[in-house]
Amino acid sequence: MLPADVDPRLQKYCVVDGCRLHLKIHRVAMSDELLDVAMNAVRRNTNIYSLTLSHLGCGPKMAVVVADMLEHASSLTSCDLSGNAIGSHGSKCLSMSLHANTTLRRMSLRQCSLGTDGIVDWVSFVQRGRNTVLDTLDLSCNRIDDEGAALLASALQQLKFHPSPTRHWHFNLVGNAITDAGVAQLAVAMEKCTMVTTMNVATSKAYEIERPERIVFIEHCARRNVRRIGHHVVEESIRAMSQSERSAEVTRLEQVQLREVDCVSLGHALRRTHATTHLILRNNALTLAGLRLLAPSLSLSKSLFSLTIVDNNVGGDGFFALLMALRNNAAPLPLRELHIFNSTATHPLWPRRLNAHIYHTFVQGSTRLTALTLANCGLHDADVAALVAGIAWGCTVERLNLARNHMTDHVLPVFQVLLQRCMALQSLDVGGNQCTLSGAVDLVQATVVHPRLDTLRLGRFPCLDDSIFRIQGLVQMTDRLRVLEMSGRHEHSKYALIMTAIRARLASNNRQSLKHPTPPIVFLSVTGGRDATTTTNIHEHHHVRWCRLQYVGRQVARDTITWQLRPATILSMAERLCMQRHDANATLVLEGIAMTAHDWNVSFVWDQAVEALAMHLCDINVLLVYEWLWMTREDVRF
């Protein structure tokens, strides 16, 4: 649904993406009035994150108007002006306007009739480095020749700034008049440049390139830079976690490689941090050996609440390693959520030899997980039966997701046992498996009588049958079920009214739940204090708030000591002490001492002072600082 403040003349050009908007005006007759309306909408509406003005037949005038908008006020992260002959003047205005822009990340000038004179300003833009946000520049299908390629290569070798270790650029020069001479100069520049991760110069149809090995070398250098930047990203994230910085509260390591040595460093950071509550590892080429090195730190983490592992080929052996670490958890607030997602089938398959150990681990209640996801992990009926039976005895899981595995109707009775024993269960997902609609009827019946379960996802069946009538009758009996995902690849028209009735009942239950929300179940864990034993609520928002109190206090103490240990402050104190005893210039004395001890550093004093002085026995009250300095922009109530 479009916001009310969007001009009616632009509503047909708006593409809704969640709560954000993409303003896309493509191949229409563009008038000055419509252009002004679009620019005003981008200035006023901060929900518009992407602007496309492509193939409108406009010239430099449109580029000047867009440049003025980008320079003064904009929330755009992407701008596409492809197919407009903006010329060198329009290109210069755009490059100059982005020096002060702090939001735009992608600029596309494809098919904009830009020659070598049009790329000069962008080369200067890259060389100066004032803008640290823009990282993607599409100059494909223009008239850039070898001279323009030489200018870009020279700029990459003679930067007027020292780039950040994580600074990266994506260039697209495909479809230009660049020959072997220009490719050779770009290859020389890429050999030493460390901030370009994509340099597309030619495609497989570029017959004018006689030395394709240079193209391969450019791609090799780009991949080398990707690995280097990924390594710096991992190091920076681990450093932030170790120092309990606010930015590390939700740590995401996505599309970066995690080696075994990185897993060891990440484990040490997890043991030390007081800030990281959510850790997300996505597509990291994580090996089983690396996961086993990381797993023991989960049992010693003071703050980690949720661990999500996506597309890292984690199967039964990896899950078992994590489970064994959680079984020996000695932390007062242990890990509560474990999510494992795989886009493709895992290899090797889930080992049957681990099912008994997994069952006994959950039966003994040594893990206190409240949310577990094993999506596309290769689980079969025997594996699911052992896992779910153990969880049923544990009785602590609130959300269980076993989607896209290989279980059939034979294992569904085990889920009925789970619903009978686990009264805290609120969400169950078994979609994407090999179950049938008739086999799922008993599961729906057990869901209806459950006191708390309000979300059931059955997934998509090959076709609907008459079992849908029984499910419709069961849904009409409950006012608690709010989400029931169920569909068929081939839905017969005779079931349309039944599906409509089910959706209407679920919508009514949703409205009732908003009026009368169900109070959450509170799990209490006993933690030993200095004088007495207290109970701590480990619900997610309470856990996050408690961790914030811990790391904000340390951050305040660290900042205070840093201010006290400034060189100017230390020098002034030393001068006053020396001047009281000797009528001499203490600066010369201090300089002489410093010259004899080159490795003098106060970092050790800093760390010791924070832990031993500022935070000794928690003798510091940071509640007011936490409230006013760190939480003023968040909707949190005490």
Secondary structure (DSSP) of 259-284: -HHHHHHHHHHHHH-SS--EEEEES-
3-state secondary structure at position 125: helix
CA nearest to 125, candidates 142, 113, 139, 112: 139
What digits encode the pLDDT tens for the residues 235-267? 999 999 998 888 899 999 999 999 999 999 999
pLDDT of residue 638: 37
**For the chain, domain boundaries:** 1-143, 167-242, 246-515, 535-630
pLDDT over 50 (residue 600): no
What distance in Å separates the CA atoms of residue 138 and residue 130, rounded to the nearest whole number? 19
Identify whether the C-beta of residue 284 lies closer than 8 Å to the C-beta of residue 257. Answer: yes
Paired strand residues for 275 = none
Please determine whether the domains at 1-143 and 246-515 fall in the same fold group of CATH: yes
The DSSP letter of residue 374 is: E
What digits encode the pLDDT tens for the residues 261-290? 999 999 999 999 999 999 999 999 999 999
3-state secondary structure at position 53: strand
Q: Strands, E, within 12-99: which ranges?
A: 14-17, 20-26, 48-54, 78-80
3-state secondary structure at position 363: helix
Lowest mean pLDDT among 171-180, 326-335, 436-445, 577-586: 577-586
Residue 619 exposed, middle or buried by CB count within 10 Å (0-12, 13-18, 19+): exposed
Phi, psi of 570 (to 5 degrees): -65, -40
Opening angle at CA 532, ends 526 and 533, nearest 5? 5
Tell me the pLDDT band of 533, cut-offs 50, 70 and 90: very low
Tell me the pLDDT band of 527, cut-offs 50, 70 and 90: very low
pLDDT of residue 395: 81
Assigned superfamily of 246-515? Ribonuclease Inhibitor (3.80.10.10)
570 contact partners, CB below 8 Å, separation of at least 6: none
Strand order in the sheet with 106-108: 14-17, 20-26, 48-54, 78-80, 106-108, 136-138, 169-172, 196-200
CA nearest to 314, candidates 328, 336, 294: 294
What distance in Å separates the CA atoms of residue 469 and residue 501, rounded to the nearest whole number? 11
What digits encode the pLDDT tens for the residues 84-100? 999 899 999 999 999 88
Distances (CA, A) of 312 to 340, 346, 607: 9, 9, 36
> CATH second-level architecture of 1-143?
Alpha-Beta Horseshoe (3.80)
Paired strand residues for 50 = 22, 78
CA nearest to 365, candidates 420, 323, 308, 318: 323
CA nearest to 175, candidates 77, 82, 90: 82
The pair of three-digit structure tokens given for residue 305, joined into one six-digit string: 């609440």
Lowest mean pLDDT among 319-333, 363-377, 501-515: 319-333
298 contact partners, CB below 8 Å, separation of at least 6: 270, 304, 307, 322, 325, 326, 329, 335
What distance in Å separates the CA atoms of residue 269 and residue 251, rounded to the nearest whole number? 12
What distance in Å separates the CA atoms of residue 107 and residue 533, rounded to the nearest whole number? 59
pLDDT over 80 (residue 635): no
What distance in Å separates the CA atoms of residue 87 and residue 180, rounded to the nearest whole number? 26
Counting Cα atoms < 13 Å in the Cβ hemisphere of 228 gives 17
pLDDT of residue 562: 67
DSSP string for 197-220: EEEE---TT-TT-S-HHHHHHHHH
